[in-house]
């Protein structure tokens, strides 16, 4: 049933506190919103707060700002429907006594209701606390307790049960469930959304525009790779300043589609979605990663934002499909052709040779077709992509724009864009940020997108800064052209007993480029030499074992087999040829396990928990070095 149009004029008495473009550090973003009032347009061009992103969407009056799969078809959500739903939820929160500064948790997979709850909370001036849906009861309880959230939105009956089991330990007073769940313990979100207005609500609009850049918008709990998660406090101004600049070097415009599948609890995904919505790109929600291949084919996105693990999986799938002699021969020839034209791809030129056109038809286009066939922009963030993986994509005609950032920087610090792109780097720093390298190689950042501090942790907040500069914890360098490169995490650097420093991530990424390796973890801190612990990609390893007539009844038996040991030692030996003498990996431990967030070896955002892995395999590591005591130190 069609709903009346939403008037675009805002109340004349709305008080505003504009932050100039100079304060934000970026030029005004000139965007034409046909149905936005001159007053509102003036505010939006400077993007003062995240609420301005919302008003930019509803002001455009689009018939499709979001999409989601419902049963067997994709359903569109218009600007008007979004406004109605968001305002309805805002009114509900207010009726429950929530006010500016109160915390609201969202425990859900990606779906339109996630963004609805997000915007509804932000319009009220309350603070959003995202919670990964994959976290355990205990981990969820910690975040809810620490943040003091008063309301929690949950997606499914499963998430509702998780929350109800721990609610007594928290300050959560009201629970809202997104799915149609029969329960007396939670409010039905869709019933709340149905009560929204058919016209603009002057009271809600006025209050939303009273929010200023210094107001707290969200508390995002970091992954906790080294210990207890910390809540990073990001203000509206932090997020808005980053959104104003992060996509300036890209051709992002209305009419394009981006698939939202990275967990919105992660700052990279949330920033990307905010940025896409602000620039008029339609968001298509994919709640589960296993649904991604189908969603790509059905939605056919024009923009693809992924993390390295997703790009790795695509690479592995391509390699797996080229096993036959003929397919492998064509694939290798196509790679040879692609390498000859890699420089053109990286400079955004389309090769015109007949060989490249044939290789594109036989191989490259097939890869792109599996991604929907319409993608013109590929972005990677959240973790290091790895030079080998970036080169492979360039070889098949895909320029991946790698970026870098942290939760504490809202998040983008640097990115390779259409105008400035250099493989092996994370691009040039954003125009409104200052970046410098400390004497010990640590990357320091200063600017409007740097966070306010850690929630309830004043000492850790003080420790995060030096002379007004935020300490990223990453080691890197800036080259003569201004491109930033990341070497490793400062705390992850390995120092052998011989005094040599080794950056593990580049070596680990090189090993993971081999499709038989799922994870690689360098060890050797304060030891005579470095070694590596390898978690195989078991589906491929098991296929290899059957092809080579190696019997096994368990993964433990498989990895202990002498042929499997020799296989991985050979892979490591090949890599060693490219490493400095002190970096060479002298021993290999192959483990019978897969790493995952569920067993604690990976964070919810799929980053390696190095300390957990080392503790889990401490006996094997100690045994390896005990057997090698007679080996000389480097």
> Cis link prior to 43 (omega < 30° from 0)?
no
Q: Are strands 257-260 and 465-466 parallel, antiparallel or unpaired?
A: unpaired
Name the one residue in this structure whose structure tokens are 């850049």: 213
CA dist., res. 270 & res. 293, Å (int): 21
Binning pLDDT at 50, 70 and 90, where does residue 89 land? very high
What residues contact residue 250 under an 8 Å CB cut-off, 6+ apart?
377, 401, 417, 418
* The domain made up of 237-454+469-490 is a member of CATH 3.40.50.12780: yes
254: number of Cβ within 10 Å:
14
CATH 3.40.50.12780 spans which residues of the chain?
Answer: 51-211, 237-454+469-490
Q: Counting Cβ atoms within 10 Å, is residue 627 exposed (0-12), middle (13-18) or buried (19+)?
A: exposed
**CA distance to 118, 126, 484, per residue, from 264 (Å):** 10, 18, 26
Most confident of 123-127, 248-252, 379-383: 123-127
Report the SS3 class of residue 565. helix
Q: Counting Cβ atoms within 10 Å, is residue 355 exposed (0-12), middle (13-18) or buried (19+)?
A: middle
Q: In this structure, what is the dihedral angle of CA atoms 423, 424, 430, 433, given to the nearest 10 degrees?
A: -160
Q: Are strands 442-446 and 303-306 parallel, antiparallel or unpaired?
A: unpaired
Whether the per-residue pLDDT at 115 is higher than 80: the answer is: yes
Least confident of 11-20, 136-145, 175-184, 306-315: 11-20
CA dist., res. 444 & res. 419, Å (int): 25
Contact in structure between 451 and 427 (CB atoms under 8 Å):
no
pLDDT number for residue 311: 93
pLDDT per position as a tens digit, 39-78: 344 334 579 999 999 999 999 999 999 999 998 899 999 9
Chain centroid to Cα 102, Å, comes to 26
User: Taking the model in full, what pTM does it have?
Assistant: 0.83
Binning pLDDT at 50, 70 and 90, where does residue 632 land? low
CATH class of 493-627: alpha beta
Q: Are strands 216-221 and 231-235 parallel, antiparallel or unpaired?
A: antiparallel
Task: Give the HSE-up count for residue 443: Cα atoms under 13 Å, Cβ half-sphere.
Answer: 26
Q: Which residues are registered as beta bridge partners of 429?
A: 414
Contact in structure between 242 and 409 (CB atoms under 8 Å):
yes
pLDDT per position as a tens digit, 280-299: 999 999 999 999 999 999 99
pLDDT number for residue 4: 29
Name the one residue in this structure whose structure tokens are 């394009």: 256
Contact in structure between 84 and 58 (CB atoms under 8 Å):
no
What proportion of the chain, given as a percentage, has pLDDT over 90?
Answer: 77
Element (H, E) at 104: strand 103-107
Mean pLDDT of 159-176: 98
CATH 3.30.300.30 spans which residues of the chain?
Answer: 493-627
Mean pLDDT of 567-595: 94
Element (H, E) at 141: helix 137-147
Helices H, strands E: what count in the chain?
A: 25, 27
Instruction: Note the CATH architecture for domain 51-211.
Output: 3-Layer(aba) Sandwich (3.40)
633: number of Cβ within 10 Å:
12
What DSSP designation does 408 have?
G
Of residues 316 and 106, more confidence is placed in 106
Which parts of 440-493 are beta strand (E)? 442-446, 453-454, 465-466, 469-478, 484-489
pLDDT number for residue 498: 80
Report the SS3 class of residue 370. helix
Binning pLDDT at 50, 70 and 90, where does residue 491 land? confident
What's the alpha-carbon Rg for the chain, to the nearest Å? Answer: 25
Burial profile 159-179: b = 16 or more Cβ within 10 angstroms, e = fewer:
bbebbbebbeebebebbbbbb
CA dist., res. 565 & res. 594, Å (int): 17
Report the SS3 class of residue 282. strand
């Amino acid at each position: 049933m069609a709903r009346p149009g939403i008037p675009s004029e805002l109340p004349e008495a709305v008080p505003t506190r504009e932050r100039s473009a100079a304060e934000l550090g970026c030029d005004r973003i000139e965007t034409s919103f046909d149905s936005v009032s001159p007053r509102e347009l003036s505010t939006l061009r400077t993007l003062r707060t995240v609420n301005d992103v919302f008003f930019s969407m509803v002001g455009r009056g689009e018939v499709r700002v979001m999409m989601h799969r419902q049963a067997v078809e994709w359903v569109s959500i218009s600007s008007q429907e979004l406004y109605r739903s968001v305002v309805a939820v805002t009114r509900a929160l207010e009726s429950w006594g929530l006010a500016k500064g109160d915390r609201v948790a969202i425990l859900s997979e990606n779906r339109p209701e996630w963004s609805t709850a997000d915007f509804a909370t932000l319009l009220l001036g309350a603070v959003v606390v995202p919670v990964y849906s994959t976290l355990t009861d205990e981990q969820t309880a910690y975040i809810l307790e620490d943040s003091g959230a008063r309301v929690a939105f949950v997606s499914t009956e499963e998430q509702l049960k998780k929350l109800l089991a721990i609610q007594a330990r928290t300050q959560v007073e009201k629970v809202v469930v997104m799915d149609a769940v029969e329960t007396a313990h939670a409010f039905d979100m869709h019933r709340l959304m149905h009560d929204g207005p058919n016209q603009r609500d002057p009271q809600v609009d006025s209050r939303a525009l009273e929010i200023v850049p210094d107001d707290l918008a969200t508390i995002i709990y970091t992954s906790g790779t080294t210990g207890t998660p910390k809540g990073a406090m990001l203000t509206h101004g932090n997020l808005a300043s980053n959104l104003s600049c992060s996509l300036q070097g890209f051709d992002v415009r209305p009419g394009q589609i981006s698939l939202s599948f990275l967990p919105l609890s992660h700052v990279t995904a949330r920033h990307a979605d905010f940025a896409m919505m602000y620039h008029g790109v339609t968001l298509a929600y994919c709640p589960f990663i296993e649904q991604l291949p189908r969603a790509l084919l059905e939605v056919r996105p024009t923009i693809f934002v992924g993390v390295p693990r997703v790009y790795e999986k695509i690479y592995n799938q391509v390699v797996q499909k080229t096993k036959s002699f003929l397919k492998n021969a064509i694939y290798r020839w196509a790679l040879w052709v692609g390498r000859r034209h890699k420089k053109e791809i990286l400079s955004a030129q389309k090769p015109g040779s007949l060989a490249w056109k044939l290789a594109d038809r036989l191989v490259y286009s097939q890869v792109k077709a599996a991604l929907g066939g319409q993608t013109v922009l590929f972005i990677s963030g959240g973790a290091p992509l790895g030079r080998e993986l970036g080169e492979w994509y360039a070889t098949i005609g895909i320029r991946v724009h790698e970026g870098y950032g942290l939760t504490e920087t809202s998040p983008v610090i640097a990115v390779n864009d259409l105008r400035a792109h250099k493989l092996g780097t994370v691009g040039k720093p954003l125009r409104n940020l200052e970046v410098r390298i400390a004497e010990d190689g640590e990357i320091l950042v200063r600017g409007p997108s740097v966070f306010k501090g850690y929630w309830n942790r004043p000492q850790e907040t003080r420790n995060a800064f030096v002379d007004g500069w935020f300490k990223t914890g990453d080691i890197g360098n800036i080259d003569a052209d201004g491109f930033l490169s990341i070497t490793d995490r400062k705390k992850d650097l390995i120092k052998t007993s011989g005094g040599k420093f080794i950056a593990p991530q580049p070596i680990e990424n090189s090993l993971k480029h081999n499709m038989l390796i799922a994870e690689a973890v360098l060890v050797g801190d304060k030891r005579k030499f470095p070694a590596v612990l390898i978690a195989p990609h078991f589906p491929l390893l098991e296929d290899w074992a059957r092809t080579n007539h190696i019997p096994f009844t368990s993964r433990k038996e498989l990895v202990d087999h002498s042929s499997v040991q020799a296989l991985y030692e050979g892979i490591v030996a090949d890599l060693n040829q490219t490493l400095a003498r002190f970096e060479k990996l002298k021993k290999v431990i192959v483990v019978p396990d897969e790493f995952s967030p569920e067993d604690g070896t990976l964070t919810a955002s799929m980053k390696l928990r190095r300390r957990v892995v080392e503790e889990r395999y401490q006996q094997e590591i100690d045994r390896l070095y005990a057997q090698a005591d007679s080996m000389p130190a480097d």
